[in-house]
Amino acid sequence: SIKIDRNFGPRLLLTGRWNQGVSRRISYLLAQRTTTGSDARTLTINARSVVRARLFNELSANSSSNASDNFSDLTDRLDATPLDVRDLVPSFAPASSSSTLSLPGQVQDYTIGPAVANRQVQAQIVDNVSWNTGRHGYRFGVDARRLTPAYGPTEYRSSVTFNTLSSLLATR
């Protein structure tokens, strides 16, 4: 995070802040590896000005973007032979496909491929004018905001169940 404040005389103050937070987590359940990540970025710029003795203006602009994703795959951990998601989905399935794999005698299912990839961008402008007249104070303002979320679920998901160990081994 970086913040900068700058006074331009007694009538104008500019501030700016940039922040980025990145997170990545990898966890294992037997041979399944799940990678979860997020990236948040924010830029804010503020201007405060004294127009006259009793007239003030505050202008703020903000831009932020957030992204998160979740991906699972099978690894060779514990001497397992990993399957790729392309082994379990039809050839026409898009590249962002995933599959849930059920094994004989197991309570746990395994998911291979992306689960979600969400994005959101926000832009905001706020402008306020304050006017003081002796006993009364007036404040006028505008707050404009634009949100552009993009929900990114898996485009194609299959579910594969192997009832016996020999049926699983026959697919290789």
Q: 20-64 pLDDT, tens per residue?
A: 999 999 999 888 899 999 999 999 999 999 988 899 999 999 999
Q: What is the distance of C-alpha 96 from the center of its chain?
A: 17
Q: Exposure string (b/e) for 17-30, b if CB count within 10 Å is 16 or more?
A: eeeeeeeeeeeeee
At 37 the pLDDT is 95
User: Quick check: 12 and 47 in contact, CB under 8 A?
Assistant: yes
Q: What is the mean pLDDT of the chain?
A: 89
Q: 100-133 pLDDT, tens per residue?
A: 888 777 667 888 888 888 999 999 999 999 999 8
Which of helix, strand or coil describes residue 133?
Answer: strand
* Confidence at 76, pLDDT banded by 50, 70, 90: confident
Q: CA 104 to CA 116: how far, in whole Å?
A: 27
Q: 52-71 pLDDT, tens per residue?
A: 889 999 999 999 999 999 99
At 43 the pLDDT is 97
At 20 the pLDDT is 95
At 1 the pLDDT is 87
* Confidence at 172, pLDDT banded by 50, 70, 90: low
Q: CA 71 to CA 75: how far, in whole Å?
A: 13
Q: Radius of gyration of the chain from Cα atoms? A: 27
Amino acid (one-letter) located at 2: I
Q: 94 vs 169, which has greater pLDDT?
A: 94
Could you please report the per-residue DSSP string of 12-26? EEEEEEEEEEEEEEE
Q: CA 109 to CA 94: how far, in whole Å?
A: 22
Q: Read off the tokens for 11.
A: 């009538």
At 171 the pLDDT is 62
Q: CA 37 to CA 25: how far, in whole Å?
A: 6
At 56 the pLDDT is 95
Percent of the chain with pLDDT over 70: 96
Q: 85 vs 138, which has greater pLDDT?
A: 138
At 18 the pLDDT is 97
At 143 the pLDDT is 96
